Structure 1
């Protein structure tokens, strides 16, 4: 199947943003279903010894699946440390531990643990990342800032397992446009559970 043209990225963002919004509005319980699948996947990976230290979550923007309720479960049930991304507003991003300390706005105005120490890639066992869309190859369509792209282009970060979190309606059968710096995600989580990207 022919891929979307790269010039269509702004149009695709509008299409999938609308699709995501309408999907979530049509099924009020969808967020809970996706969150439950994320919870089950975290527990499975923990049982199989894949999660050792920190798990990267995200602070949800409007329309994104809210995984923040999983923070306490990571700590209390699995003995893992949650982490959040911290963006500088200039295209760079790091992860820091998400503790009980108050969050403050990062360079993009998103709540983040600014007072915590920066974590190296080796401290992260898994990244859960929001998206507007993902295709079956694991190519993610984000908002165009390139923060996750720049981070995951670094060799150490490219080796950290990473999954996209979104409704199933936003999994594109048609290949999404990709750039040389795009790193495919290992898969995605939606209301139907974890799906592997195609090789």
Structure 2
């Protein structure tokens, strides 16, 4: 199965979840993250605002022990901005909420943990994204911070098709647990 076919099938399965099931599983993903030492020891965390029924991490964002950073899509790149719960957001080019352009910026090297949205991940740490390459470019930039893919359990697959530019994550978090692959950077 090609990446495109697999992406279509898994997005359809995710969209078919009931709102109640999505909320319950999202809450369990948040609980899994909160129990992780990578999360509890992090001061600055890059995250995402849920889109297309991705696991919703919003309950975590009220935690003032962490500085939160979120992406803005600018051209073919992600620019990271700090954001505090309650601050205004805008809708970006892809219909995803993002901080305003004038909010303070963050460099990925200045953070402690990166929570990466995905359509699917495999047991080797590779992720299937939406096909735009935004996170692939971030991950291939030589970043040396722990990266955890955030997905629902049905999208945690034995193996994904990969391309030469695909970069593995350090771990994957689902509603049933966190899997870390080898040594965290």
Interval containing the TM-score (normalised by the shorter chain): 0.7 to 0.9
Where 1:69 maps in the other structure, the secondary structure is helix
Where 2:58 maps in the other structure, the secondary structure is coil
Q: Once the 2 structures are TM-superposed, how far is the Cα of residue 192 of structure 1 from its aligned partner?
A: 1.5
Higher helix proportion (structure 1 or 2)? 1
Note if 1:38 corresponds to 2:24. Answer: no
Given candidates 15, 20, 24, the residue that maps to 2:9 is 15
Note if 1:191 corresponds to 2:175. Answer: yes
Task: Note the alpha carbon deviations across 1:60-96, whole angstroms, 9 max, x for none.
Answer: 10211110110112x1xxx2201111111x3211211
For residues 109-128 of structure 1, what are the structure 2 equivalents within 5 Å? 109-114=95-100, 115-128=102-115
Task: Note the alpha carbon deviations across 1:160-191, whole angstroms, 9 max, x for none.
Answer: 21111111111111x21212221100111111
Task: Note the alpha carbon deviations across 1:127-149, whole angstroms, 9 max, x for none.
Answer: 11111111111110011011001
The 8 Å contact of residues 138 and 198 in structure 1, kept in 2 or not, is answered as no
Question: TM-score scaled by structure 2?
Answer: 0.87
RMSD: 2.0
Give the unaligned 5+ runs of structure 1: none
Question: TM-score scaled by structure 1?
Answer: 0.81
Q: Once the 2 structures are TM-superposed, how far is the Cα of residue 21 of structure 1 from its aligned partner?
A: 3.3
Give distance in 1, aligned partners of 2:19 and 2:54. 15
Larger radius of gyration: 1
Match of 2:70 in 1: 84
Note if 1:25 corresponds to 2:18. Answer: yes
For residues 1-199 of structure 1, what are the structure 2 equivalents within 5 Å? 8-22=2-16, 24-25=17-18, 28=21, 29-41=24-36, 44-45=37-38, 49=41, 51=42, 53-73=43-63, 75=64, 79-88=65-74, 90-99=75-84, 100-114=86-100, 115-155=102-142, 157=143, 159-173=144-158, 175-197=159-181
Give distance in 1, aligned partners of 2:151 and 2:72. 21
Runs of 4+ in 1 over 6 A off after TM superposition: none
Number of paired residues? Answer: 179
